[in-house]
Amino acid sequence: MLSIDDLTFNSHGLIPAIVVDASAKNVLTLAYMNRESLEISLREGRTCFWSRSRQELWRKGETSGNVQHIVDITADCDRDALLIRVNKEGPACHLGTDSCFNDKVFIGDQPAPFSVKGLYGLLEGRKKDLPEGSYTTYLFQKGLDKILKKVGEESTEVIIAGKANDKAETIYEIADLMYHVMVLMVEMGISVEDVQAELASRHVIDHKVKQEKMVGQAHS
């Protein structure tokens, strides 16, 4: 485990910090830390940066409430840059966007890897624009009852495929179910982060229960 003394700060006493959403794994922002702001971050478990424009400490979320809780901090191979994984409350950018990185400079011909969050963003776009001829548009136009009916139908299809012990068909039907569940999420304003937070809370509870059981067994 490295200490602050093992890190290399630049001639201005700063070290760049790349902040990443621990759940979604997307880059949120690039900021800078000096020794004091890094010490505060380690002590408080939330990001604190050095504002180069204001020349002062900047506790992320101090005024906006968009706090970033630190999961871990990793130095690069030269120990002159930091990668900070966080669990965030609210958007990372002062413009109100999830990430500070939004303006494309170049788009290559290589397809971006599939992600659940990417699909969610696509579905949000479908709900907003309602492009003609889209099946997703059809679902949003029909409304909640139709979407719920499709979720129920696809759930049944998963059960049938699983009961038949058909792996390929079960995968296919699970994909259908996931798609329709995500349409439901967009319709109801439930984000991917909302579901991740619920799962994470169960993980924490399960971890605590296991610890309590281990302690109980040790004393029995």
pLDDT tens sequence across 85-133: 999 998 999 899 989 999 989 988 888 788 888 899 999 999 999 999 9
What is the C-alpha to C-alpha distance for residues 136 and 21, in angstroms, rounded to an integer? Answer: 28
| 84 domain-assigned | yes
Q: What is the pLDDT of residues 127-181, one digit of tens each?
A: 999 999 999 999 999 999 999 999 999 999 999 999 999 999 999 999 999 999 9
Tell me: do 75 and 140 sit in the same domain: no
Q: Which of 71, 10, 80 is nearest to 42 (CA)?
A: 71
| 171 domain-assigned | yes
Q: Are 41 and 67 in contact (CB under 8 A)?
A: no
Domain count, the chain: 2
CATH number of the domain enclosing 17: 3.10.20.810
| 216 domain-assigned | no
Classify 176 as helix, strand or coil: helix
CATH number of the domain enclosing 182: 1.10.287.1080
Q: Which domain holds residue 167?
A: 116-189
Q: Which of 25, 64, 17 is nearest to 41 (CA)?
A: 17
| 218 domain-assigned | no
Average per-residue pLDDT for the chain: 92
| 9 domain-assigned | yes
Does pTM surpass 0.95?
no
Tell me: do 9 and 81 sit in the same domain: yes
What is the C-alpha to C-alpha distance for residues 102 and 199, in angstroms, rounded to an integer? Answer: 28
> What Cα–Cα distance (Å) separates residue 199 from each residue in 4, 25, 148, 149, 185?
33, 16, 22, 25, 15
Q: Which residues pair with 192 in a beta bridge?
A: none
Domain limit, last residue, from 49, 72, 88: 88
Q: Which of 172, 101, 98, 179 is nearest to 134 (CA)?
A: 179
What is the C-alpha to C-alpha distance for residues 49 and 59, in angstroms, rounded to an integer? Answer: 6
